Every structure is written in structure tokens, then in C-alpha cells.
Structure 1
């Protein structure tokens, strides 16, 4: 029974903290803690609505196909396993940083400069996604949510909770909500940390950077398909 008590508290934390956590995420396009964010010497993320480095690299590599400096077959052969590693579940930030550094090291300075000059933004990503028939979840906690098919299970649960789902909360859930609301700020932070560590709350280990991670995910399949085709040439 104690286990389910904790699960209910964490589930409620997802509902409450996701709803109020958006204000924190709108201040920057990437994680505020530099120790957890890959810093590129070439790609800037400080301009308004900037994509994070990994999304700039992914979308930029795709966009380079429209220029004269697209990736070569040799580069594609080297880049393919790196992007597949990011797709395949590399989640530790140190490992992600190492992979991104290798990706930048595989690309030429001209290619990286071209990507930097694109100054890719959320609008650029949305425009590209629309051209591919894809929906884009909002990044950085801002913007309107796309179609319902793009919502994560946590977001769907949050939306239903916000709307009330047409039903009153169960007595047990109402009790857990009251318990959560009576917690001190330190206790709430402890619940938030536990939820993030378990991947239950966007921005934690299971979904770092919230919407940014989901945006990055939609780029991976087209990029890996492109690199696979180019490597075979």
C-alpha cells in the first residue's frame, strides 16, 4: 500500500508540476545548467527562439542537402552510428555531449558555419515538419500544442486533469492532492526530483528538456534515413 501511496503522489506531482513548470522553461531555449548542456563553439543558442545544438545539427544537416555542402558518403558513414546512438537511448548527458562533439568533429568547418548561419528557430522546425506532414510539439514550454496525436501520455493526462475530464476526482486522488498542496516547498522539490529521476516529469532523465526532446525525436528518423541512403552511395 505504501508503494501505491508514493505512486499516486508522484502521478499528482506530474499533473501539478507540469502545469506550473512551464513558466520556468520559457526563459531559455536550453537547460540553464551549463554542466548539463552541450556547448558548441560554432552553433549559437542565445538568439530568440533558437533550437538547441542537437536540433540545429540534425535539421541543419538535412537542410544542407539543399546547398552545395551536403554530407558526403564518407561523412554519412561516420555520422550514421553517432545519430543512431542518440536515437537508440543514449541519455546520460556526458554521453550525449561526447556524441554531439564527435558529430561536430565529423562535419567540416564550412558545413558547421553554414548551419550556424541558418540561425534555426522553432518556426524553421515547424515549417520543415509541416512540409514533411509532421506535427511538432512546442519547445521551451511555449507555444500551442499541436494535434492530439503528438501529446505524450503525461501531457494527455495533464490535459485531461486540467479539463477535469468531465468527472470529479476520486476521493483518494482528492486526498493525495490535498497532501501535495500541504507540502512545504522543500518537500515539493523532493517529489519533483523523484518524478524527474523516474522519467515521469518532462525535463528529467526520461525526457530531458521537455518539448525540446520530443522535437529532436521527430528529426531523427528522416536524418538517419538520409544518412543511410548517402552512406550507400
Structure 2
């Protein structure tokens, strides 16, 4: 991918000039930015839901013409030569979108419908590319790998390897609270001695003799 600075003289059609450059060079053109002024711009604006329902189309749009001179604030578009356009999905050929500043400070924008006539010299910064690859990504990208080519294969291979290797925290087995207590007791037994005082409630003493029934019971010895 290489950057190009393209100049369109006043009176020329900006969209037509960029499309012709891509066709003659056999390159794809991705417009990044632009400066200059255009005049009498026709923009496609979506209709409100009520108006769209009346004409029977949810995706209907109206073309609004803005007369006068407008300064370019931002511009974006992708132009492909015929060989690339034949293999590209329709969404990749969306046309040119622009935002403009009017003479009284108003901001307008939308998709350009028709020619985009330059009122002054328009300078466009674009990136040119050759032999692009097109992929339709699945809805759940991590569940179904998409076909790739070139350097992207390494990235997909890396993603596939990461999916097959479970995260480190998955190696920890969840324990029931009772299991945790048993595991703690086992660890305590193996790492440090258990004193007899901790087990006094489990020891059973023989009954005292009849003669010593009234005598107090001796306390167990401590170890």
C-alpha cells in the first residue's frame, strides 16, 4: 500500500477523477482526507420512517442539493478498477461520503449522489493497493475461522492455537466447601504436627470404679 496526493483542478469532478485514476492504474484507491471547496453538492439523505413507509420502502432516501460553495471537512471513499470490482462485494462499492462546512457555519454531510464538482483546487490524500482479498466474516468470528491468504494466515493460525490451548486458570478444579475443608486438613497433617489438644473431644475414657464414683474425673494428659 502506497500513499498518493492527488490534485483535482477547479471545475473537475472529484469522484470521476478518482475513479478514472483507479481504472487507468489498475489500483484500488482508498480516500483518506481531502481539502478544498466544492459547489452545488447533491447528497443522499435517508427519509424519516413515516415518509419511507408512505412510499413503500424502509431504506428509501431523498437527494438534497446544496447550492453554493462548501469547504470539505472530511471525505472517504473506495474506488476499484473493473477487475477488482467484479470480485468485490457490493458493500465495498459504497461510493463517496463527505462532510462539508457551509458559508454560514452550517455542517452538512452524506453520501454523494451524482458529480462532486470542485469549486477550487481539491487535494486528496489516498492510499493505493493492488490485489486485495475479500472475506465474509462469520457472525461469531472465534467459532468459525474465515479463509485468509498471505500474512493473515499467521494471525489466524495463532488465533487457532490460542483456542486449542485452554487458559491457565481453567486448570484449577473448583472444590466444594466441604472438599476445601478436607483438603486443608490433609495439608495441615502433612506439613505440621497435630497436637492432642485439638482432638480432646474425640477421646473416650473408661468409666471410673464404683469406689471412686464421687471422685473428680482426671483430665487427660497433654503430649
Give TM-score, length-normalised by structure 1: 0.20
Q: Answer with 1 or 2: which has the greater Rg.
A: 2
TM-score scaled to structure 2, two decimals? 0.20
Task: Flag the structure with higher helix content.
Answer: 1
Structure in which a larger fraction of residues adopt strand: 2
